[in-house]
Amino acid sequence: MIEFYAKAELPTRFGSFKIYVFKNEDNKDHAVLVHGNIEGENNVPIRIHSECLTGDVFGSMRCDCRDQLLTSLKFIGSQERGILIYLRQEGRGIGLLNKIRAYNLEDSGKDTVEANVEQGLPADNRHYNFAVDVIKYFKIKSVQLMTNNPEKIKYLEDNGITINRRIPVIIQPTEFDKFYLETKKDKMGHML
């Protein structure tokens, strides 16, 4: 179960949001950006975004995380309502240290999945129970999920969330993330 901590107004270049901070059993601060009235609504556009310090903050071109985040915020801000759940699950849930170690292995020719597995880690160690709890907290009846990841869809549906539509978040590949995106598509089933 999640615990509500605080909320405040958050004007952004993408529109006006309210930022909520919740904690759950992992004892991390997770942020939820809410645009418009979402409580008890149907077909709420939602993006569940996992933290990516290198991409989201530093603008790394090794991944498409920052572009997905900005594209999602822009879309949500243009709608009547929407929600972005920002999960503190760096590096697909393996943490920053292991992610940078994985980068080093990728520099030696491994793909993103092989780099995690070589460290004895899962290819993707993320969990979405917090997102399910947030959707239930706001009594959202159904969502339009902004994702390319079939595991997010499956997890939410398996936990009672009605998804009426998938909104693809397709980012044009660069020379730096093309191999990464191909790996996500070929080895992780991402719908790119």
The 10s digit of each residue's pLDDT in 111-132 is 989 999 999 999 989 989 999 9
Q: Is 107 a catalytic residue?
A: no
Under DSSP, is residue 1 helix (H, G, I), strand (E, B) or coil?
coil
In a domain, 137, yes or no: yes
In a domain, 132, yes or no: yes
Count how many domains the chain has: 1
In a domain, 180, yes or no: no
CATH code, domain with 155 = 3.40.50.10990
In a domain, 189, yes or no: no
CA distances from 149 to 16, 36, 45, 48, 86 (A): 27, 26, 16, 10, 16
Selected catalytic residue, list 124, 158, 165, 186: 124
Closest CA to 62 of 184, 145, 161: 184
In a domain, 177, yes or no: no
Selected catalytic residue, list 126, 133, 158, 186: 126
pLDDT for res 51: 94
124: left (phi over 0), alpha (psi -120 to 50) or beta: beta
In a domain, 188, yes or no: no
Helix 150-158 and helix 129-137, axial crossing angle in degrees, nearest 10: 60
Domain encompassing residue 53: 3-89+128-172
- pLDDT band at residue 75, thresholds of 50, 70 and 90? very high
The 10s digit of each residue's pLDDT in 24-52 is 777 788 899 999 999 999 999 999 999 99
> pTM (2 decimals)?
0.92
In a domain, 156, yes or no: yes
In a domain, 13, yes or no: yes
Q: Is 158 a catalytic residue?
A: no
Q: What are phi and psi of 166, to 5 degrees?
A: -100, 130
